[in-house]
Amino acid sequence: MQEIEKFIRGFNRFQQQYLSESARFDNLRRGQQPGTLIIGCCDSRVDPALLTGSDPGDLFVVRNIANLVPPCTPDAPPGVTSAIEFAVCSLEVARIIVLGHAGCGGIRALMAPRRLAEETDFVGRWMRIAEPVRQRVLNELHHKTADAQNKACELASILHSLDNLLTYPWIRRRVDAGKLVLHGWYFDIGSGALLAYSSRKQEFLPLVCALDAESAAAA
């Protein structure tokens, strides 16, 4: 019950902040025109709007276990693909950010699968999208610890999602025409850093450094 009260107080604040000034919400009452699609994980610690300080109307958000994008096939899960299609083809967003994170339970489940009955293992079935990533990590990093393998898989699965986005012809066309840009971001919960994939350097580099690194630089 305490949580519900917290939510109601939160909505009151939202109402005051956004709805009491008519000008601020006027355009949004007529419709949305977000410039960015974020594909993030369901994890409760990784709220895209909260992490990026966004306001209502800024982000179109798709969240699923481990921020995966299935490749474009006739049997791709329509819940995810329809949201991506709507954001790209109807809202015409200018960028897509695939936002992964450290300590991802979905990636952990992929790397150390439980033995559940096929018909009730929804997480296992969903995570099969990233099975090629798991195989690659196990092949290349078989000598590393489970934690190191998980982190490598978290990062590589972001790139896998970006590659899969390009299998959708309407995404590929817009990217080739320079109308749509794809980004791969990684929130390192442990250090507090935000990393972005650099296709030029072919690695994830800090967009925002860890808190410790910042205070060390300022000292």
> Which residues contact Zn ion by CB under 5 A?
41, 43, 104, 106
Q: How far is the CB of 41 from Zn ion (least distance, A)?
A: 3
Per the DSSP assignment, residues forming a β-bridge with 62 are: 39
Q: How far is the CB of 104 from Zn ion (least distance, A)?
A: 3
Token code pair at residue 214: 């910042």
Q: How far is the CB of 100 from Zn ion (least distance, A)?
A: 7
Query: Among residues 189 and 213, whose Cβ is nearest to Zn ion?
Result: 189
Task: For residues 182 and 107, give the distance between their C-alpha atoms in angstroms, rounded to a whole number.
Answer: 22
Q: How far is the CB of 216 from Zn ion (least distance, A)?
A: 29
Task: For residues 37 and 53, give the distance between their C-alpha atoms in angstroms, rounded to a whole number.
Answer: 15
Q: How far is the CB of 108 from Zn ion (least distance, A)?
A: 9
Query: Among residues 44 and 73, whose Cβ is nearest to Zn ion?
Result: 44
Task: For residues 72 and 181, give the distance between their C-alpha atoms in angstroms, rounded to a whole number.
Answer: 18
Query: Among residues 161 and 180, whose Cβ is nearest to Zn ion?
Result: 161
Query: Among residues 104 and 180, whose Cβ is nearest to Zn ion?
Result: 104
Query: Among residues 24 and 128, whose Cβ is nearest to Zn ion?
Result: 128
Q: How far is the CB of 118 from Zn ion (least distance, A)?
A: 23
Query: Among residues 36 and 157, whose Cβ is nearest to Zn ion?
Result: 157
